[in-house]
Every structure is written in structure tokens, then in C-alpha cells.
């Protein structure tokens, strides 16, 4: 079980003594499964409101697509997409908002607007990101990846077992963050399913995810609607929910404390049912 029972996320305390669900809110025109659906502010706000009503503990707002093949956007464009949404979610819904960004400017502005967490697929490696994260005072999720979105799925390979590669990378990033002054108790880890990994890598990584629990930090996992489900089950994006629920259940059993998903209500039920069984053995 994770040693971190709770996280201070700005004004919110996030209880991690049991698994929580994070609702995905992409305000991008080109995300792989819901691009363009929530670009308008009112649409984004209503969708977030629904996810919170369905049991999401937090909303993860992203303004730059990180799907395979995606091109980067400028800091200004990302900020223009994200800032109004963060501000509205905090002001109108008092939501715990996570911001899915690698951009220092977006981190700083989002924290000033009341965001409660930074979720960075590049693990604060972009120039200025580590300093911005430290200055924000917020918890940060560090994710493993190989390559950048535009090329990460072009024949990914590893010289050691995938779980060891991921654990070694994340341990090194944690050490670097701590050395710079970002306290360990503010960190979460994401294995990065689908980010520079084949289907076989992803399946083995989930099977061996207990290896990451040895790092003794809360684990955030995102597999919702991803191509690993489509390739195993031969299902298009809109038919991947049952596979995603199975993966969420397995992730919780292997120590995940936050599940990042598109389909909140069914995932909350699956997670809560899984936890009802697991806690009997605690």
C-alpha cells in the first residue's frame, strides 16, 4: 500500500488512502479520442461538472495533445486554451484541478489561478519546468516516456526489462527533483502506458507494476481508451470501455492510487468494487 495517505493540492486535501479517479478534460482540437469536443469554455465546464458528479476526485486539464504523432504547440497557445478553463473550474465548481502540461509558463499561471496539481508527461525535463514546479508549491506527477509524441511510437525498444527501465528512469527523476528542492512528499509517479512502448511493453509493465511500488510514491495510471486496448481486443476508440475497466481493476490491484480516465462513472464503480475486495485483505 502507498505510504502517502494524502496530498495537499492547493486548497484541497486529496485523500489517497483509497484509489481515486481523475477525469480527463482535453481542451485541444486534436487529442486522440475526444479532440475538439470541449474546446468551448461552456462545454468544458459542463463536462467537468458531469465528471465531478459521477465521482471524479479531480479534473485533469490538458491544452497540448500528446497522442502519438502530435506536434507541439506554443506556450502562448497552450496557455490561451488552458487558463480560462482552470479559472472557471476553480471559481464556479471549486474543483481540484490538475494541469497536464510540460510548459513552465502554463504551470506558473495555472498555479496562480488555483490549480492543485501539475501532471507532466516530460517529468519536468523541459527547460525551466523544474523551477516552475518548485515555485508553484503544488504536487507534481512525473511520467516515464521514451522520445517525444511526434516519434515515440516509431519502433520503441529497451535494453532491459520494461519495468526496470521505467523504475530506473523515475527513480533518477525523483532524485534530481529532490536535489533541486522539490520535496519527495509532493511527488507522484506515472508509468507512462503508451508513451514509447509497444503493446507487449505495456502489458508486461502492468503485469509487473508492483516493481514501481518499491519507489514508495503514489502511482497515477492512464490507460483509458488507449491503443493497447484496441490492438488486443480489435476495438475502435469508442468501444474500448470494457477493456479499460479491466485494466483499471488490474492497476488498482497492483497499487495504483489515481486512475486517469475519460469514462468516470463506470470506472468509479469498477475501482470501488475492486477496493471493497482488496481492503478486506489489509
Q: Quote the cell numbers at residue 279.
A: 481492503
What pLDDT was estimated at residue 35?
45
Catalytic residue among 20, 81, 225, 226: 226
pLDDT in tens, the chain (282 residues): 444 589 999 999 999 999 999 999 999 875 444 444 556 899 999 999 999 999 999 999 999 987 776 677 899 999 999 999 999 999 999 999 999 999 999 999 999 999 999 999 999 999 999 999 999 999 999 999 997 777 767 778 999 999 999 999 999 999 999 999 999 999 999 999 999 999 999 999 999 999 999 999 999 999 999 999 999 999 999 999 999 999 999 999 999 999 999 999 999 999 999 999 999 876
Question: Does residue 260 carry a catalytic annotation?
Answer: yes
Given this model, what pLDDT does residue 71 score?
74
- Closest Cα to residue 134, out of 111, 159, 160? 111
Assigned CATH class of 6-281: alpha beta
Q: How far apart are CA 203 and CA 130, in angstroms?
A: 31
pLDDT at 234: 97
Asked about 226 being catalytic, the answer comes back as: yes
The pTM score is: 0.92
* Confidence (pLDDT) at 66: 76
- pLDDT for the residue numbered 147: 75
Where in the chain are the domains?
Answer: 6-281
- Residue from 145, 173, 211, 260 carrying the catalytic annotation: 260
| Helix intervals (H) in the chain | 41-53, 75-93, 104-112, 129-136, 162-180, 199-207, 210-213, 227-233, 241-253, 264-278
- Nine cell digits for residue 106: 502554463
pLDDT of residue 2: 44
pLDDT value at residue 59: 98
Amino acid at each position: 500500500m502507498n505510504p502517502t495517505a494524502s496530498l495537499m493540492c492547493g486548497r484541497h486535501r486529496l485523500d489517497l488512502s483509497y484509489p481515486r479517479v481523475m477525469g480527463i478534460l482535453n481542451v485541444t482540437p486534436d487529442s486522440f479520442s475526444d479532440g475538439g469536443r470541449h474546446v468551448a469554455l461552456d462545454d468544458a465546464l459542463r463536462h467537468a461538472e458531469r465528471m465531478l458528479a459521477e465521482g471524479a476526485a479531480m479534473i485533469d486539464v490538458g491544452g497540448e495533445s500528446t497522442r502519438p504523432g502530435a506536434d507541439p504547440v506554443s506556450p502562448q497557445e497552450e496557455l490561451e486554451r488552458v487558463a480560462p478553463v482552470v479559472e472557471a473550474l476553480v471559481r464556479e465548481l471549486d474543483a481540484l484541478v490538475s494541469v497536464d502540461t510540460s510548459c513552465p509558463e502554463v504551470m506558473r499561471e495555472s498555479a496562480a489561478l488555483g490549480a492543485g496539481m501539475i501532471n507532466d508527461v516530460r517529468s519536468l525535463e523541459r527547460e525551466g519546468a523544474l523551477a516552475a514546479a518548485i515555485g508553484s508549491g503544488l504536487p507534481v506527477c512525473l511520467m516515464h516516456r521514451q522520445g517525444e509524441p511526434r516519434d515515440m511510437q516509431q519502433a520503441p525498444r529497451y535494453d532491459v526489462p520494461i519495468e526496470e527501465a521505467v523504475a530506473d528512469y523515475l527513480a533518477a527523476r525523483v532524485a534530481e527533483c529532490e536535489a533541486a528542492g522539490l520535496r519527495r512528499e509532493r511527488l507522484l509517479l506515472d508509468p507512462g502506458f503508451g508513451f514509447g512502448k509497444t503493446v507487449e511493453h505495456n502489458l508486461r509493465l502492468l503485469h509487473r507494476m508492483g516493481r514501481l511500488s518499491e519507489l514508495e510514491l503514489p502511482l497515477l495510471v492512464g490507460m483509458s481508451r488507449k491503443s493497447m486496448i484496441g490492438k488486443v481486443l480489435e476495438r475502435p476508440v469508442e468501444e474500448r470501455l470494457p477493456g479499460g475497466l479491466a485494466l483499471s481493476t488490474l492497476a488498482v490491484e497492483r497499487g495504483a492510487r489515481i486512475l486517469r480516465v475519460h469514462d468516470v462513472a463506470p470506472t468509479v464503480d469498477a475501482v470501488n468494487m475492486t477496493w471493497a475486495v482488496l481492503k478486506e485483505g489489509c
